[in-house]
Chain A
Amino acid sequence: MSFSFIKHKGSDEELLISIGNGNNNAFNELYSRYKDRLLYFFYRMLSQDKELAKDFLQEIFIKIINKTHLFDPKMKFSTWIFSIANNMCKNEYRKQNVRKNTINHENPDFIDDRQDQQTNHEPVLKLIFNQLENFDDTHKSAFLLKYREGFKVEEISEILDLPVGTVKSRLFYTRKKIQENIKNQHPELIEQYNLY
């Protein structure tokens, strides 16, 4: 008799252990909890590249399934999974920097058109994410982990493996810079959205 209609509940950590034992229901539950969150993180971190974000999402779940035994029970699952996601993005940035330098050198007419893949309809959000592209990966990830994921500063410091003070200063600087740029370039939006 199949019990697949019974939804598997439990903490993220318990689900991970069950996945290690081949429990597909546990995997379904964990996947549904984190799919959208991770996809959004990758999408924003990887300059709104949809295909790359989907590839990264697939890759991270393959890593989780194959490495359940590497999970440190002292960490929360959410901080663990986002630290993996962050490291994947960091590695991609390094590759892209190498690729950018090589490709631009070889083909000066190369145009990176990934910016055209934005699907934001809110102009202010579009502006914010355009501004965010000017920051490095640590500033971007700290920003997303705080404002999108709602992690506390201590959790962000664990994910990014940075001191708490550094995380706080990066968050402060990113937010302040974005706010200043919006004020300078589109002062009407400050009034409209009450962005003081």
Chain B
Amino acid sequence: MDTFDDFLTQKLKNDKTGIDIDNSSFKHLHYIVNLNATKSSVKRNSMFSFISDFLSPRFIIAKVAIVSILLVLFIENKENRQHDSFIYHADSTVTHKNSFDSISGYSSPISDTLYR
């Protein structure tokens, strides 16, 4: 092992800067740690506070009315979509029936000629 290498490792490891760090800098860093923690908990709380406000008994009648209206609209929308899809299927069945009739109408003169 290179002695100069060893010398450098040993000497540098134990070398000191002689610099003192004052307490106010350290306290400032703690303040930032706390600030960041507060910011993220405020963010979390604002989301939960909306839900808890909504579930509170204040203005309960208005809240029940809003929820009921939304529910009715949702159910109506679902029924309309089902109804529309029935109409679509019924229409397509009629279309298929019509096309079948026209095909069978076309083929019968051909079959007649085959047997002549």
Residues in A lying within 8 Å of B, measured CB to CB? 19-24, 27, 31, 35-36, 39-40, 43, 50, 53-54, 57-58, 61-62, 65-66, 119-120, 122, 124-125, 128, 144, 147-148, 150, 175, 179, 193-196
Contact B17 A119 (CB under 8 A): yes
What A residues does B15 contact at CB under 8 A? 40, 120, 122, 125, 148
Contact B13 A150 (CB under 8 A): yes
Contact B30 A27 (CB under 8 A): yes
What B residues does A61 contact at CB under 8 A? 29
- Cross-interface CB contact of B11 among A119, A122, A179, cutoff 8 Å: A122
- Residue B40 interfacial (CB < 8 Å): yes
Known contacts A39-B21, A40-B15, A43-B17, A147 near B37 by CB under 8 Å: no
What A residues does B36 contact at CB under 8 A? 20, 22, 65-66
Give the docked Cα–Cα distance between A196 and B3 (Å): 6
- CB proximity of A21 to chain B, nearest CB, Å: 7
Give the docked Cα–Cα distance between A21 and B36 (Å): 8
- CB proximity of B23 to chain A, nearest CB, Å: 12
What A residues does B18 contact at CB under 8 A? 119
- CB proximity of A53 to chain B, nearest CB, Å: 6
Give the docked Cα–Cα distance between A31 and B18 (Å): 18
- CB proximity of A35 to chain B, nearest CB, Å: 7
Contact A195 B7 (CB under 8 A): yes
- Residue B53 interfacial (CB < 8 Å): no
Known contacts A175-B4, A175-B5, A57 near B12 by CB under 8 Å: no
Known contacts A22-B34, A66-B32, A31 near B26 by CB under 8 Å: yes
Contact B25 A147 (CB under 8 A): no
What B residues does A195 contact at CB under 8 A? 3-4, 7
What A residues does B3 contact at CB under 8 A? 194-196
Q: B84-112: contact bitstring with A at CB < 8 Å (1 yes, 0 no)? A: 00000000000000000000000000000
Interface centre among B5, B16, B17, B26 (most CB of A within 10 A): B17
Contact B34 A40 (CB under 8 A): no
What A residues does B113 contact at CB under 8 A? none
Give the docked Cα–Cα distance between A179 and B4 (Å): 8
Q: A27-B29, A27-B33, A61-B29 are in contact. List 10 more A-B contacts (CB 8 A).
A: A20-B36, A24-B33, A36-B17, A39-B19, A43-B19, A54-B19, A54-B25, A62-B29, A65-B33, A150-B13
